[in-house]
Chain A
């Protein structure tokens, strides 16, 4: 899916000056660069809408295609079952060579999410690849909810409580404020 995405983005890029996944393309004209990012995001939006993955969704906010609102639903069988979290995704003009900034908008009690909604997830930092897209980001975050990385917690309380799933679930529910 993700690969298909990229190809589409590339074919869409044909008239633009800098096709291809080389980071060197930053050298090309800025306008053309921005244009190709917009086109890539548009096709990602289309793919996301048509793909219809259950439990994850995102949509550009207002008329700015660089800022998206995402929604993920807690997977069944995890402590987050029945909850739904709102995310904010901010893309830069370097996308997809730089990852978007992703943040929880809804307060989330999770070992890898801090009080401000910042997420500690490797693919959003050093492990980012231009092959990832909005859909994979959302799916990764969704699975992160059920499988936290307790080795590098941002929320130590949550990390400590993780062993006791029943109590953990209670805390999740207590701190959960569904989006309006």
Chain B
């Protein structure tokens, strides 16, 4: 009995084996299925169910591996074996890899379908057995229902274990190509939409008429089929990786394409539209095709949190599935980040053409709001500033202009000024080290004409504008005068309080960044407004003294604006200077009319060569003006007479005040008459004094002329070259080695000869002359005041070797307490020290000052 049973089992098993082999190996013939069922039932009753199942799966696997899988990979052999260069050729080929891929997938899926049917046969056989034996249902049930999943697992594991390395690459290429295709199709409709300016075209779904749409839906259907096949082979995650990376790649290239180096157009909107138009449509179609998006916000209330705030419908899609919303967020974030990185990388250029590039700034602002990667901006911008702007080659003007643009641009991005603070710090530090910073700032403030030769007067205008704007806003702002704001305003201010951004440096108080004020930032470079005012005073003095008319309207306006900003008291001296000019005008005409009257009554005056008409005096209250350069000049007697008459008259009118002439200052308009020609000049009094001597005699040696005019010989030589360069005088060997002879050139031809020869020199001389200023500059003043401390500085550096700026400053504060006690600011000290460095008295190393070794 037992033996018989064993034999029966063997028999049944052998039959099962042959039948199942026939079934698996057979091509589409499922007729053996009928025979298989009783054998399976028999074996099951003998308790061999698991054995049956394992054997069957094993034989399926063998067949699948040997036939279908091998064939499948063979499709891709040419690519796999190709070299890197040939692979590129593959990618360029028109229908590669879509044809290969779809053919291969078709084949393998056919094979798989057949095998699935075989599995079903077995499942049915097992099930029919189970139905008949309800008592063992529990165990066999398990067996039959787990068969299909096990088969699926087997298929994917076989494929994955035999996977060639290049397959993901092929998939990637496939999706890239398909997406590009889709993009071009969509681009057509997208652009026509842009032109037509009507509501999106796909608002009623994908299946509306129009060639592009049907074309694209066909395309998507194809892609969907490939994706479905791939999924059913167990490549789900690989496929998803491939198409998402393709989408990201396409998105990236789209962003790069849209966000070119043109910063005058906003691109963010286009990018967003494009995301809606191409990748989202694609994904929507794909997900619908695959049946993934059936869960139209079905439940999943727990997951709602990040999605609840998203717009609930997309054009043409209706209520989006959760997967689609996730995709949308993911793509937008990526787009924002890409654009932001792109813009941050080019931020320097963007800020260079700031007012025009404000759309790019706006884009960047939106991106940063989304991504929150402000620190990236700060780091990258600071490094590009250091590399490109804060170098010895950049002019202070350019740096200042860029700084102003930076302030404006960053003010847009971040109104609280936190990032500006971080970015501005290196610029400010650098500018403090430059000697001409103050001068440039003052020029930018006051020179509203923007008359820069280089055409960069733009920002200068802007600074003056800033002054204007500040004046307009004055009534609503509380400029460091808290006592004056009324309670209502104070309440409004406190109402509008907002916390600092997360990125703010908690060490620095938030009060000083409440107001991003360009002028305030500019002043903070200089250190104190007093310095700025002082520099302005010097420049104003220079400007006023060189005026030959009394037109000061624009200066008055600028002063008024500055007064609003810096307060009345600090601008008082400047105001007096302007008043001096106004008074001068009045006094001048007063004196002149009275002098003319007297000259008519006094007959002796008529012989004077010049009338008082030609004289205009600028009468200044020297206490309020910056120190004025003086030089003794002996003016021709007739002019001197004129001046003393004028002064006398002034004394009469304005007793007890007396007029003291600064004879070296001012301008002289003169006309030189030669044989048959005349020339007009506007020159300094010294030049005029020189040339007037040649009226008496046509030839002078430099030494005698110098004593005559009362200036040193070298200074005379410097001045007289102005006339030789104009061709009025010629220079020849004089009696001594350093004594030259100058002679008037009378005839025209000589002039031409000379002037051509001297043309170059003339240009040079002119710039020299312009460099001569009538007022001691702020640096000179500082230098004079600091000279006392220079010895202390040298002394301490001799003994301590090297010291930091702070330490020098503090040491001076401690030990320079006798007259004159040390009262300079750190910035003033710094600029003085950089002067000493320039004079090669000191040198700096690692931020420390030390004595320059005297070799």
Contacts and interface: CB of A to CB of B under 8 A. Distances in A.
Interface string B682-707: 00000000000000000000000000
B815 A60 contact: yes
B161 interface: no
Interface stretch (A25-33, A46-54, A94-102, A122-130): A46-54
Interface stretch (B176-184, B647-655, B791-799): B791-799
Given A59-B798, A59-B799, A69-B799, A45 B815 contact: yes
Nearest to B793: A49
A49 B810 CA distance: 17
Interface string A104-139: 000000000000000000000000000000000000
A57 B799 contact: yes
Nearest to B819: A46
A43 B818 contact: yes
Contact of B795 (A43, A48, A63, A180): A48
B801 interface: yes
Interface in B779-833: 791-792, 795-796, 798-801, 810-811, 814-815, 817-818
A57 B798 contact: yes
A86 B818 contact: no
A58 B791 contact: no
Given A50-B791, A52-B791, A65-B815, A59 B796 contact: yes
B815 A42 contact: yes
Contacts of B810: 63
Contact of A71 (B799, B815, B818): B799
Contacts of B817: 42
Contacts of A57: 795, 798-799
Interface in B746-804: 791-792, 795-796, 798-801
B789 to A, nearest CB: 9
Nearest to A41: B815
A46 B814 CA distance: 13
A148 interface: no
Given A48-B795, A49-B795, A52-B791, A59 B800 contact: yes
Contacts of B801: 179-180
A43 to B, nearest CB: 7
B799 A42 contact: no
Residue of B791, B796, B798, B800 most packed against chain A (CB within 10 A): B798
Q: Which bucket holds chain A's interface residue count?
A: 20 to 34
A41 B811 CA distance: 15
B799 A86 contact: yes
A71 B791 contact: no
A70 interface: yes
B781 to A, nearest CB: 21
B279 to A, nearest CB: 65
Interface string B436-472: 0000000000000000000000000000000000000
Interface in A134-180: 179-180
Contacts of B791: 49-50, 52
A43 B818 CA distance: 8
A105 B579 CA distance: 62
A63 B814 contact: yes
Interface string A65-101: 1001111000000000000001000000000000000
Contacts of A86: 799
Contacts of A43: 818
Nearest to B797: A59
B809 to A, nearest CB: 13
Contacts of A48: 795
B800 to A, nearest CB: 7
Interface in B341-373: none
A59 B795 CA distance: 7
A49 B792 CA distance: 6
A61 B810 CA distance: 12
Contacts of A71: 798-799
A170 B815 CA distance: 40
B393 to A, nearest CB: 34
Contacts of A68: 799
B4 to A, nearest CB: 108
A96 B235 CA distance: 96
A52 B791 CA distance: 8
A46 B795 contact: no
A61 B811 CA distance: 9
B298 to A, nearest CB: 77
A52 B787 CA distance: 14
Contacts of B799: 57-59, 61, 68-71, 86
Given A52-B791, A179-B801, A180-B801, A46 B796 contact: no
A88 B484 CA distance: 56
Contacts of B815: 42, 45, 59-60, 65
A23 B599 CA distance: 79
A133 to B, nearest CB: 15
A176 B796 CA distance: 22
Contacts of A61: 799-800
A65 B818 CA distance: 14
B652 to A, nearest CB: 48
B324 to A, nearest CB: 70
A77 B800 CA distance: 26
Nearest to B816: A46
A5 B810 CA distance: 26
Nearest to B817: A42
Contacts of A70: 799
Nearest to A12: B818
A116 B356 CA distance: 72
A71 B800 CA distance: 9
A142 B818 CA distance: 28
B111 to A, nearest CB: 84
A57 B797 CA distance: 10
Contacts of B798: 57, 59, 71
A69 B803 CA distance: 14
A33 B72 CA distance: 106
B795 A69 contact: no
Contacts of A63: 810, 814
A132 to B, nearest CB: 20
Contacts of A179: 801
A46 B800 CA distance: 17
Interface string B661-683: 00000000000000000000000
A97 B268 CA distance: 83
Nearest to A51: B791
B791 to A, nearest CB: 4
Contacts of A65: 814-815
A45 B814 CA distance: 12
A168 B542 CA distance: 64
B792 A42 contact: no
Contacts of A49: 791-792, 795
Interface in B139-166: none
A42 B819 CA distance: 11
Contacts of A42: 815, 817-818
A40 to B, nearest CB: 12
A69 B800 contact: yes
Nearest to A57: B798
Contacts of A45: 815
20 contacts: A42-B817, A45-B815, A46-B818, A49-B791, A49-B792, A49-B795, A50-B791, A52-B791, A57-B795, A57-B798, A58-B795, A58-B799, A59-B799, A59-B815, A60-B814, A60-B815, A65-B814, A68-B799, A71-B798, A71-B799
In order of increasing CB-CB distance, the 10 nearest A-B pairs are A57-B798, A69-B799, A59-B799, A49-B791, A59-B796, A49-B795, A71-B799, A63-B814, A59-B795, A49-B792
Interface of B: 791-792, 795-796, 798-801, 810-811, 814-815, 817-818
Given A59-B811, A71-B799, 5 more contacts: A46-B818, A48-B795, A58-B795, A69-B800, A86-B799
